[in-house]
Amino acid sequence: MGTSGKVIKCKAAVAWEVDKPLSIEEVEVAPPKAHEVRVKIVATGICGTDDHVLKGSIPNIDYPIIPGHEGAGIVESIGEGVTCVKPGDKVIPLCLPQCGECSFCLNPDTNCCLKTHLHESQNLMPDKTSRFTCKGKAIHHFLWISTFSEYTVMPDSAIARIDDDAPLDKVCLFGCGFSTGYGAAINTAKVKPGSTCAIFGLGGVGLSVVVGCKSAGASRIIGIDINKDKFTKARELGATECINPQDFKKPIQEVLLEMTGHGVDYSFEVVGHTDTMVAALVSCHMGSGTCVLVGTPPLGSQLSFDPLLLFTGRTWKGCLIGGWKTKDSIPKLVSGYMEKKFNPDVLITHTLPFDKINEGFELLQSGKSIRTVLVF
Ligand code: COD
Ligand code: ZN
Ligand code: ZN
């Protein structure tokens, strides 16, 4: 008795409105349409961005919605025309699709496919309908992948097949956190051996930047966080120094300039605040420093900074999902993990049953967790 072609009833976490805890509901998940895939999610991480969805602090979110974008699972069924995966394949849903055909996908210098939320809303499937229903009401998708549901549907441009042996409760972190931070150092900054790096924010994503800087051969890696409990893990992963802005009377950018002479070679903002974005720019080397924005700024925010900071030679850039062309790169990152090239397992501080999802968010909000992985 297969489920293919039928509606599946399963558990999902629904955000009915802003600023309310998630509610575990029974939802109905419609079968995939043409060029869509239905996936049984086995494990999903909780990322800072999911917390922003609950708080209503990111643009273009419609409620009710099923959040979650750091999952791993197994293909249950495929719609007409899908060739990239088949039922039974292990997969990672892609919160940034790669259609492979648009002018951005054909451009080697960007990973922002034209089918992303930057260009069109991903709160409904591409045909502008939902595959989720709860209590007779259509529920919105998040980034087309909604991994906080035991079964979820995504376009075939937003799914990548991974190694058959990959442990899904670990490699789910490649769907966002690890890939985002590691790629920011490797692809976007292109950190050079022997360089000095500063990372503002040592959550799951910031710690993944630390891993990227270390593997690129940086000799000095300075971690910055207002929560000193993050320092042990940062040192374990390669930070050579850790500092708390609250321990200094002067602004942290001045502290960094004093520590390094003329500023760091690479700085990374992994908090998502405009003040730390400008502090990270000021902290990098006046003539040759590169500052990379990784954290999403608050809804509607604007930056104010002295343009002279750029005149002398600093470079300011940003990236989404670490600049990876996702469908091509995430399977390779998972293979690298299987070959023990890097080990994001240390970022997983908690593993909880899916029903305890709100406990997972409390751990994130109180700064007690790096990554909580929920298992169905
Ligand atoms: N100075 C230094 N550290 C600070 C400050 C400050 N003023 N304020 C807060 N922090 C620290 C916190 O103590 C915490 O340790 C860390 O910053 C933030 O970490 P988390 O655990 O809350 O969040 P992450 O690491 O899971 O994610 C953070 C991002 C900001 C990167 C994330 O929310 C985001 O915006 N991602 C967008 C980038 C992207 O590519 N996204 C893809 C999908 S998410
Ligand atoms: Zn594309
Ligand atoms: Zn994320």
Helix (H) or strand (E) holding 258: helix 252-260
* Domain-embedded: residue 3: no
Does residue 160 share a domain with residue 15?
Answer: yes
pLDDT band with cut points at 50, 70 and 90 for residue 232: very high
Average of per-residue pLDDT across 111-128: 87
Q: 245 CA distance to ligand 2 centroid (A)?
A: 41
Does residue 223 share a domain with residue 262?
Answer: yes
Does residue 186 share a domain with residue 95?
Answer: no
Say yes or no to pLDDT of 178 above 80.
yes
226 Cβ inside 6 Å of ligand 1: yes
Rounded to an integer, what distance in angstroms lies between the CA atom of residue 29 and that of residue 50?
Answer: 21
Q: What does the DSSP assignment read for 264-301?
A: BSEEEE-S--HHHHHHHHHHB-TTT-EEEE-SPPPTT-
pLDDT band with cut points at 50, 70 and 90 for residue 247: very high
Cα separation values, 156 from 80, 240, 290, Å: 11, 42, 35
Rounded to an integer, what distance in angstroms lies between the CA atom of residue 161 and that of residue 104?
Answer: 22
320 Cβ inside 6 Å of ligand 1: yes
Q: 96 CA distance to ligand 2 centroid (A)?
A: 10
CATH number of the domain at 119, please: 3.90.180.10
Rounded to an integer, what distance in angstroms lies between the CA atom of residue 99 and that of residue 56?
Answer: 28
3-state SS, residue 341: coil
DSSP state of 140: B
Mutate to test the pocket of ligand 1, among 92, 95, 225, 329 (most ligand atoms within 8 A of CB): 225
Please list, in sequence order, all residues whose beta carbon lies within 8 angstroms of the beta carbon of residue 109, skipping any fewer than 6 positions away. none
Average of per-residue pLDDT across 345-362: 96
Phi/psi region, residue 72 (left: phi>0; alpha: psi -120 to 50; beta: rest), is beta
CATH number of the domain at 259, please: 3.40.50.720
What percent of the chain is modeled with pLDDT above 70?
A: 100
* Domain-embedded: residue 315: yes
Does residue 82 share a domain with residue 36?
Answer: yes
Rounded to an integer, what distance in angstroms lies between the CA atom of residue 178 and that of residue 34?
Answer: 31
251 Cβ inside 6 Å of ligand 1: no
pLDDT band with cut points at 50, 70 and 90 for residue 60: confident
Rounded to an integer, what distance in angstroms lies between the CA atom of residue 194 and that of residue 216?
Answer: 9
Does residue 141 share a domain with residue 199?
Answer: no
Please tell me the predicted confidence (pLDDT) of residue 117.
Answer: 73
* Domain-embedded: residue 127: yes
Does residue 290 share a domain with residue 147?
Answer: no
* Domain-embedded: residue 231: yes
Task: Quote the pTM value.
Answer: 0.95
41 Cβ inside 6 Å of ligand 1: no
- Kindly report, residue by residue over 151-172, the tens digit of the pLDDT: 999 999 999 999 999 999 999 9
How many CB atoms sit inside 10 A of residue 237's CB?
A: 22
| Residue 193, token pair as written in the block | 């051996």
Rounded to an integer, what distance in angstroms lies between the CA atom of residue 222 and that of residue 254?
Answer: 14
Does residue 240 share a domain with residue 141?
Answer: no
Rounded to an integer, what distance in angstroms lies between the CA atom of residue 279 and that of residue 291?
Answer: 10
Does residue 35 share a domain with residue 144?
Answer: yes
Q: 128 CA distance to ligand 1 centroid (A)?
A: 31
**The total number of structural domains that make up the chain:** 2
313 alpha carbon, distance to own chain's centre? 29
- For residues 221, 226, 227 and 232, what is the CA-based torsion angle, rounded to 10 degrees? 20
Please tell me the predicted confidence (pLDDT) of residue 343.
Answer: 85
321 Cβ inside 6 Å of ligand 1: yes
Residues belonging to the chain: 376
Query: Mean pLDDT over all residues of the chain?
Result: 95
Does residue 267 share a domain with residue 132?
Answer: no
Closest Cα to atom 34, ligand 1: which residue? 295
Token look-up 């997983």 returns 348
Mutate to test the pocket of ligand 1, among 55, 116, 226 (most ligand atoms within 8 A of CB): 226
178 Cβ inside 6 Å of ligand 1: no
* Domain-embedded: residue 356: yes
**Position in ligand 1 atom list of the atom nearest CA 206:** 25
* Domain-embedded: residue 206: yes
**Position in ligand 1 atom list of the atom nearest CA 143:** 43
Does residue 152 share a domain with residue 15?
Answer: yes
Rounded to an integer, what distance in angstroms lies between the CA atom of residue 208 and that of residue 221?
Answer: 12
- Kindly report, residue by residue over 61-100, the tens digit of the pLDDT: 999 999 999 999 999 999 999 999 999 999 999 999 999 9
Burial class (CB in 10 A: 0-12, 13-18, 19+), 318: middle
Average of per-residue pLDDT across 288-295: 97
Contact between 274 and 303 under an 8 Å Cβ cutoff? The reply is yes
* Domain-embedded: residue 353: yes
Does residue 123 share a domain with residue 43?
Answer: yes
Q: Which residues constitute the domain of residue 54?
A: 8-175+343-375
Strands (E), the chain: 8-14, 23-29, 36-45, 71-78, 90-93, 132-134, 137-139, 151-155, 159-161, 196-200, 220-224, 241-243, 266-269, 290-293, 315-318, 348-353, 371-375
| Residue 133, token pair as written in the block | 């229903």
276 Cβ inside 6 Å of ligand 1: yes
296 Cβ inside 6 Å of ligand 1: yes
- Kindly report, residue by residue over 24-34, the tens digit of the pLDDT: 999 999 999 99
Does residue 240 share a domain with residue 316?
Answer: yes
Say yes or no to pLDDT of 1 above 70.
no
Q: Phi then psi for 169, rounded to 5 degrees?
A: -75, -5
* Domain-embedded: residue 334: no
